[in-house]
Amino acid sequence: MSTINFSYDPEWLDTLSAPFMTNAFIAGLCIALAAGVMGYFTIARRSTFAAHALAHIGLPGATGAVLLGLPVSLGMGVFALGGALVIGALGKRVSEREIATGTVLAFATGLGLFFARLSSSASQQMQSILFGSILTITTGQIIGFAVFDVLLLALLAIIYRPLLFSSLDEQVAQAKGVPIGLMNVAFMAIMAGVITIAVPAVGTLLIFALVITPAATANILAGSPFKAMVIASVLCLVSIWAGLVLSAMFPAPPSFIIVMLSTLFWAIAKAVETMRK
């Protein structure tokens, strides 16, 4: 019978000062900002399934990029954006979005597995795509993350009010002249970008823990949309940075610890909320 040994690395401070760790911390900051802001809108628009599905829709793009010798993030971003536009265009209502999301998700997952079978290198990349590899993020990727964050904040500054209005009360927003269809497509397109930059941290299977869980925790703690976005970003950042530190101290996959911390914060918030009620 095998046993599990939990070891402690006394040289963990040296590990934290390594260049790859610096890249991971900076990438975590970029990811937390984008995931925290858009996580609130995802819950408000009842699109958590769509957000989770976009990560899997990007799977064939990632494996296909490996086949063509292109960057994995590029292939994932293209497929995630394509799937987001299809879902946003076909799913104007919540019920329609669920059907469109499930259909696109099933096709994309099958296509991703097909691409993976065509190349041994694509099969080898599957684990990092599914579970993340934040410690391998490069300087070039960080620059891309930072550019995306700037574009995200600039776009939200323009569409914040109609996007928030349509997220909180779609029927009233439509009656007031808000272009619901355009907001749906814009939201899904932005989410595709957020998923693309967040997947390297925790992978497609665990993306829920960065985009949805911190925002759900923030909704318990905050009374306004802006405060919820700020708290969600902070919780996401704490989960990532603390996960990196703990993974250096007690050697373990960073994605597991990040997800564990994010879930723990949510559980504590729910427990406190329950006791107050």
Instruction: Locate 30 and state its tokens.
Output: 């970029």
In a domain, 276, yes or no: no
Any domain includes 245: yes
Residue 246 one-letter amino acid:
L
Per the CB < 8 A criterion, the answer to whether 80 and 176 are in contact is no
Q: Domain residues for 97?
A: 17-269
Per mean pLDDT, which range of 50-54, 92-96, 180-184 is the poorest? Answer: 92-96
Give me the pLDDT at residue 1, please: 42
Is 3 contained in some domain?
A: no
Four-residue CA torsion sign, 191, 197, 201, 205: positive
Share of the chain above pLDDT 70, in %: 92
Higher pLDDT, 245 or 83: 245
Is residue 205 domain-resident? yes
Task: Kindly state whether residue 204 falls inside one of the protein's structural domains.
Answer: yes
Give per-residue pLDDT as tens, 37-83.
999 999 988 888 877 788 788 888 888 887 788 887 788 888 888 88
Q: Which residues contact 222 (CB under 8 A, 6 or more apart)?
A: 228, 230, 231
pLDDT tens digits, one per residue of 198-240: 887 777 777 878 889 999 999 999 888 999 999 999 999 999 9
Give this prediction's pTM: 0.85
Tally of structural domains, the chain: 1
How many angstroms separate the CA atoms of 146 and 127, rounded? 25
Residue 223 makes CB contacts below 8 A (sequence gap 6+) with none
pLDDT in tens, 115-157: 777 766 666 667 777 777 888 888 988 998 999 999 999 999 9
Residue 57 placed within a domain: yes
Q: Is residue 4 part of a domain?
A: no
| SS3 assignment for 124-143 | HHHHHHHHCCHHHCCHHHHH
Residue 141 maps to which CATH number? 1.10.3470.10
Residue 11 lies in a domain: no
